[in-house]
């Protein structure tokens, strides 16, 4: 029997058998072994893969904890009658301490008084709640909304350019636009260019124009001459509460300040000049 015929028979027999793992090596029996004693290794190999879910090591993949978004909007509203905790620390309508109360008693108090329950601090032990009127909740919501508006995003900057020869009517129009920007918490950059009349320094002209603004303002950058004396520039913002208090104090001090020549009392007579 020729060697080629043996190879053909062997390939046909192996093609009808299932594939075996790679660790198994098929060796021809002595009956089919060639005369010179050559060992034939099966070319068919099978690599097994394990898809059992239990063999996956989950210790290397810890569960991710959900992080709170610091930009998330803070809400303030009634929790209704669904109180998750059995006992809560309760505050009254005016903020008075009512102690630790069972949730059934809290629901009874809500029915009797018509008040609503609001969560103040759910992370405390026991959690802190307060009974409030609907008007109180609305006022607190408006206060939180204004606070969040003040914290959202960077301050926007507006810019306005005009000439020192601007007419009074046009100046009043532009200053009204400045007021509208300031009321929206924007910074406003004013640039005044030199006109035909240069008798007054540009920084003084710009200061006089700022004084005509109808809302109290503060300076991010005070009036300064720029561009080699051909223009003046300043950056405005709304006056802070501290600046308003300081301005009120300065105004009151000027009001009560007396002339040195004024008599200190009604009975004191001014000295006759010699």
In the chain (274 residues long), the average pLDDT of successive 10-residue segments reads 73 63 46 48 49 45 48 66 87 88 91 90 88 88 78 78 90 93 91 85 91 91 89 92 84 66 48 48
Which tokens go with 5? 């015929």
Tell me which residue has tokens 């959900």: 66
Tell me which residue has tokens 């809400």: 75
Which tokens go with 22? 């790679």
Contact (Cβ atoms closer than 8 angstroms) between residue 176 and residue 143: no
Contact (Cβ atoms closer than 8 angstroms) between residue 180 and residue 214: no
**CA 204 to centroid of chain Cα atoms:** 40
Q: What pLDDT score does 67 carry? A: 52
With a CB cutoff of 8 Å and minimum separation 6, the contacts of 240 are 218
3-state secondary structure of 69: coil
Q: What pLDDT score does 31 carry? A: 46
From 99, 51, 56, 105, select the one nearest 81 (Cα to Cα).
105
From 170, 228, 233, select the one nearest 205 (Cα to Cα).
233
From 109, 131, 111, 129, select the one nearest 119 (Cα to Cα).
129
From 80, 76, 79, select the one nearest 145 (Cα to Cα).
76
Contact (Cβ atoms closer than 8 angstroms) between residue 236 and residue 187: yes
Contacts from 179-184 at CB under 8 Å and sequence distance 24+?
A: 179/213, 179/214, 179/215, 182/213, 182/215, 182/217, 182/236, 182/237, 182/238, 183/215, 183/238, 184/156
């Amino acid at each position: 029997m020729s060697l080629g015929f043996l190879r053909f028979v062997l390939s046909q027999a192996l093609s009808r058998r299932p594939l075996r793992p790679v660790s198994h090596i098929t060796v021809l029996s002595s009956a089919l072994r060639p005369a010179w004693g050559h060992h034939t290794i099966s070319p068919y190999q099978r690599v097994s893969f394990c898809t059992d879910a239990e063999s996956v090591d989950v210790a290397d993949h810890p569960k991710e904890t959900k992080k709170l978004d610091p930009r998330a909007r803070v809400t303030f509203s009634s929790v209704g009658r669904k109180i998750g905790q059995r006992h809560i620390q309760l505050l009254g309508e005016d903020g008075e301490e009512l102690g630790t109360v069972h949730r059934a008693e809290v629901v009874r108090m809500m029915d009797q008084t018509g008040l609503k329950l609001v969560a103040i601090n759910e992370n405390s032990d026991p959690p802190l709640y307060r009974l409030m009127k609907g008007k109180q909740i609305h006022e607190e919501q408006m206060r939180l909304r204004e606070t969040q508006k003040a914290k959202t995003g960077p301050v926007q900057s507006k810019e306005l350019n005009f000439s020192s020869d601007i007419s009074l009517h046009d100046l009043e129009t532009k200053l009204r636009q400045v007021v509208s920007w300031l009321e929206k918490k924007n910074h406003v950059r004013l640039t005044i260019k030199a006109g035909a009349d240069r008798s007054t320094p540009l920084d003084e002209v710009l200061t006089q124009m700022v004084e005509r603004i109808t809302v109290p303002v503060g300076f991010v950058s005070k009036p300064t001459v720029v561009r080699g004396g051909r223009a003046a520039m300043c950056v405005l913002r709304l006056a802070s509460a501290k600046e308003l208090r300081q301005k009120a104090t300065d105004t009151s001090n000027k009001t009560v300040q007396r002339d040195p020549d004024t008599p200190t009392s009604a009975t004191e007579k001014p000295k006759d000049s010699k």
